[in-house]
Amino acid sequence: MNVVEEFLFLREELIEKQTHPRIIIHNDPPPESPGSHNSRLQYDNKLPLQYSPVISLESAREEMQQKLFDHIAGMSGKDIMLLRAQPGVGKTYVGIQTAQRAADAGLKVLWLSARHDLFLDLFRHDCFDSSKWFHFLPIHEQKNEKDPIPTTCLFAPAQKKWMNRGHSSYDLCKNLCALSGHIERCHYRLQKEVKYPIVFAMHELLVTGLSIDGFDVVFIDESPVKVFKNERHIPISGIDTGAIGPTGELMRILTKIAIEIQENKVKRRPSAHWKEGKALFDTIGPILKNVFAQVILNDDYKSYIPDSPVIIDPSEVDKVPYFYIFHFLRIASNEYDFWQKGESSWAHRIRVGNTGIVIFDKHDVWDKLPTKMVIMDATTASERYSHLFNAEVANISRKKTIEIYEPNITRKAIIIQCVSRLYGSGSTITRERDNTPINEDAEYPEDSEERFKNKGTKQGYELVLAAKGYKKKHTGERVGLICNLKTKSLFLDDFNEKDIFHFYGNRGSNEFSDVGALIIAGTPSPSMHEVINTVLSLYPDIEESFFKKDSEGHPLIPFTYRDQYYQLTEKAREALYQKEGKNSAYRQVGGFWNYPIVQSVYRDMREDEMIQAIGRARPLTRPCKIYILSSIPLNILLDGVFNDPDFGQPSCISWQVWDKIADTLELYHVNNQTFGYRELAEKSGKSIDYLRSRNWIKQIQSKQSEYWILRDDPSYPAKRGPQVQLLQPIPNTDLVIM
């Protein structure tokens, strides 16, 4: 909305509230989390999830194109076709073909992507017909010769600052380019004259729009959710715009609050970094009453803010005031209702801190976006799109209807998941600022290397050991690893740096399309601030607070635990039944289950990132192995699920201890040497009495009977009971344990 629209919307809303006072309804608080939970796999015989029939990749591509064109032709009866296609299916190829087929039928097509450089990826497809496509460029100044986007605006940096202050882009064009006549020759503005049937542009245009309209269908490649987040920042220097009356007084109060918080931070005083909610409205609430009255009684918006500035040089943009006050008041009016009625907590969408004001809101959808949509996204929840693309029909809000096409395609890769731990970054690394473990009671194995004490906790040590073990299974092959950015340093001694990618940094990458194995080491760890801010922005109708604060004022959403099932292939279910007598596996998993929207957003930011990571190895088209070291159940079929990594260890020996003795066992076998309890005790760190009481030598021989035979140990002559035994290698056998 522009300034006038923002003012009129605010005024209408305030008058409506005055005429029909708002009634605040409280929902019952959700139950608290239980004190303990079961973190091990459990089994039952519940029915599996229903899947579509398994089809070949070739059949899926043919069916996918037909589904898309039927949808565009109106045969689906839905607004949105959500194409849930995993990486490697060829959704981009099919999308190009369908878009061009629609163009041939006389339709005008808009294709929106996450990045401009992805247009080159489309161009490289052999089905791409460049005569039908136009690349709509942004307001941009070419940085250097390597920058693929040419200059489209003489004053692009100034435009960015100008629009960030809340002003119309075209107003700056009139200021700087109208008199010279350049506005008529502007490369960016001239793009509206193009006649190509397909226009390629960025996700941002879903909310900002573009100068070309009249589209019949839009293709959206990958999730565009982040462009709907309107997280607006007003710096301290921009809060007071020189308004008069109560509005000016409000601006001065807000500036004072921000400066005080800034000074407290500089002087390291123990105070909050933000002022929000009741604490904020106890300060600004009294003056807000007068500000709202001023808006209702005075319909001239120019009395609150200066006129749109007139400048003659781009350097003057830095002095231009921010247009934000109507947006601020519209969001503040809802919180004011809670404060006025004596409420102590609610959802906070306005924060004042040491950097200024932050406002959380949702961008509206471009009003000229075509009705028909095709979204090619393998992960984001369908209800998110139904909410984001809601439509106004006859002044009644209507959510978009969605048809989901998710083919169950024959997969060539084998995917195994070990679910004993979450392995989030918070439990695997140390704090950078003081180099102490996040868990102050963390224990380290006696023989752990010093680097883990400096960089990782006990769980970090375990995570590296598990990854090393799986890498050893693929000696001679390239092994890729994807982990949290903060845990990357833990793996540098054992993996090539070029073979390590991190979560949120691998989308669209084909760097792992040649690996023999891919290890997903841990779980993505979005911060609670990021989750909360996303919910506040995307769901402006949520008004009650869905989180508490800890003793330091940090947001705290109660975790609860629910049974969550792992999805298994038919073969994996059969194997599980043979082993456990049950065909389904589940585990209690923590989440924000009492707050479905928060959990849904958390899932999009965490679980779905893991699906993207798995797709980097192109599991549909390549016979590789993928190992997932995380407890989080995913929307993907597994070929096996285990509590702990399986490196061939006997059931009586933990995989961590097996890691200590496995290499020595191989060495003794290669050298045709016997291996007894003395050697076993030395490597395992266990006492000989402990090992003998549990028959470890016999257990190892039973597990590896084709490589070892048992022989009496002459060091232990039998007096009472059975003779102590040791392992003797079987000649001409090649033992590789892990």
Closest CA to 228 of 526, 535, 502, 528: 535
Indicate whether 596 and 468 sit together in one domain.
yes
**pLDDT tens digits for 177-214?**
988 889 999 999 999 998 999 999 999 999 999 999 99
Q: What is the pLDDT of residue 9?
A: 73
Q: What is the pLDDT of residue 387?
A: 85
C-beta atoms surrounding 690 within 10 Å: 13
Structure tokens at 140: 């941009």
Indicate whether 191 and 249 sit together in one domain.
no
Structure tokens at 318: 């830095």
pLDDT band, very low/low/confident/very high, at 549 (cuts 50, 70, 90): low
Q: What is the pLDDT of residue 379?
A: 80
Rg of the chain (C-alpha set): 31
Rounded to two decimals, what is the model's pTM? 0.85
Average pLDDT over every residue of 376-387: 85
Alpha carbon distance 18, 438 (integer Å): 51
pLDDT over 80 at 621, yes or no: yes
In-domain check, residue 14: yes
pLDDT band, very low/low/confident/very high, at 508 (cuts 50, 70, 90): low
In-domain check, residue 256: yes
pLDDT over 90 at 592, yes or no: no
Indicate whether 141 and 25 sit together in one domain.
no
Q: Are strands 391-393 and 396-398 parallel, antiparallel or unpaired?
A: antiparallel
Indicate whether 488 and 559 sit together in one domain.
yes
Indicate whether 580 and 715 sit together in one domain.
no
Indicate whether 677 and 709 sit together in one domain.
yes
Q: What is the pLDDT of residue 613?
A: 92
Average pLDDT over every residue of 509-532: 89
Helix (H) or strand (E) holding 580: helix 570-580
Alpha carbon distance 308, 168 (integer Å): 9
Indicate whether 220 and 100 sit together in one domain.
yes
**What is the SS3 assignment for 599-645?**
HHHHHHHCHHHHHHHHHCCCCCCCCCEEEEECCCCCCCCECEEECCC
Indicate whether 606 and 503 sit together in one domain.
yes
pLDDT band, very low/low/confident/very high, at 729 (cuts 50, 70, 90): very high
% of the chain at pLDDT higher than 90: 52
pLDDT band, very low/low/confident/very high, at 553 (cuts 50, 70, 90): low
In-domain check, residue 38: no
Q: What is the pLDDT of residue 451?
A: 42
Average pLDDT over every residue of 202-227: 93
pLDDT over 80 at 27, yes or no: no
Q: Which long-range contacts (CB under 8 A, 24 or more apart) does 545-548 make?
A: 545/277, 545/345, 545/346, 545/347, 545/348, 546/347, 546/595, 546/598
Query: What is the domain range of residue 544?
Result: 414-642
pLDDT band, very low/low/confident/very high, at 277 (cuts 50, 70, 90): very high
pLDDT over 80 at 606, yes or no: yes
pLDDT over 50 at 680, yes or no: yes
Helix axes 655-670, 677-684, angle to 10 degrees: 130
Average pLDDT score, the chain: 85
Average pLDDT over every residue of 476-483: 96
Please state the domain count of the chain: 4
Closest CA to 210 of 308, 137, 106, 265: 137
**pLDDT tens digits for 240-249?**
988 888 999 9
**pLDDT tens digits for 558-577?**
778 889 999 999 899 999 99
Alpha carbon distance 196, 734 (integer Å): 65
Average pLDDT over every residue of 495-506: 90
pLDDT over 70 at 737, yes or no: no
Most confident of 283-297, 298-312, 465-479, 651-665: 465-479
Indicate whether 423 and 547 sit together in one domain.
yes
Q: Among all chains, which residue has been given the structure tokens 């959990």?
A: 599
Q: What is the pLDDT of residue 39?
A: 82
More confident residue, 390 or 678: 678
Alpha carbon distance 165, 68 (integer Å): 41
In-domain check, residue 496: yes
pLDDT over 50 at 449, yes or no: no
Mapped onto helix, strand or coil, the DSSP state of residue 711 is: strand
Low-confidence winner among 371-380, 535-544, 548-557 (lowest mean pLDDT):
548-557
Indicate whether 614 and 694 sit together in one domain.
no
**What is the SS3 assignment for 426-472?**
HHHEECCCCCCECCCCCCCCCCCCHHHHHHECHHHHHHHHHHHHHHH
Q: Examine the fold and report which residue of 362, 379, 399 is the final residue of a domain before the chain moves on.
A: 362
In sequence order, what are the residues at sequence separation of 6 or more whose Cβ sits closer than 8 angstroms to the Cβ of residue 277?
A: 335, 345, 346, 348, 545
Average pLDDT over every residue of 680-698: 91
Dihedrals phi, psi of 568, to nearest 5 degrees: -120, 145
Indicate whether 329 and 370 sit together in one domain.
no
Please say whether the beta carbons of 455 and 489 come within 8 A.
yes
C-beta atoms surrounding 47 within 10 Å: 7
**pLDDT tens digits for 423-445?**
998 889 875 444 444 444 444 44
**pLDDT tens digits for 107-138?**
999 999 999 989 999 999 999 999 999 999 99
Q: Among all chains, which residue has been given the structure tokens 């680097």?
A: 451
Indicate whether 222 and 132 sit together in one domain.
yes
Low-confidence winner among 160-164, 302-306, 415-419, 668-672 (lowest mean pLDDT):
302-306
Q: What is the pLDDT of residue 715?
A: 80
Q: For position 207, which CATH number holds?
A: 3.40.50.300
pLDDT over 60 at 394, yes or no: no
In-domain check, residue 647: no
Q: What is the pLDDT of residue 445?
A: 45
Q: What is the pLDDT of residue 435?
A: 43
In-domain check, residue 649: no
In-domain check, residue 735: no
Q: Examine the fold and report which residue of 298, 332, 362 is the final residue of a domain before the chain moves on.
A: 362
pLDDT over 60 at 271, yes or no: no
In-domain check, residue 736: no
Q: Is the dihedral of CA 267, 270, 276, 280 positive or negative?
A: negative
- What end-to-end distance do the CA atoms of the chain give, in Å? 61
CA distances from 194 to 70, 97, 197, 417, 450 (A): 28, 22, 9, 51, 63
Bridge partners for 555 per DSSP: 549
Q: What is the pLDDT of residue 102?
A: 95
Q: Which long-range contacts (CB under 8 A, 24 or more apart) does 496-501 make?
A: 501/613, 501/616
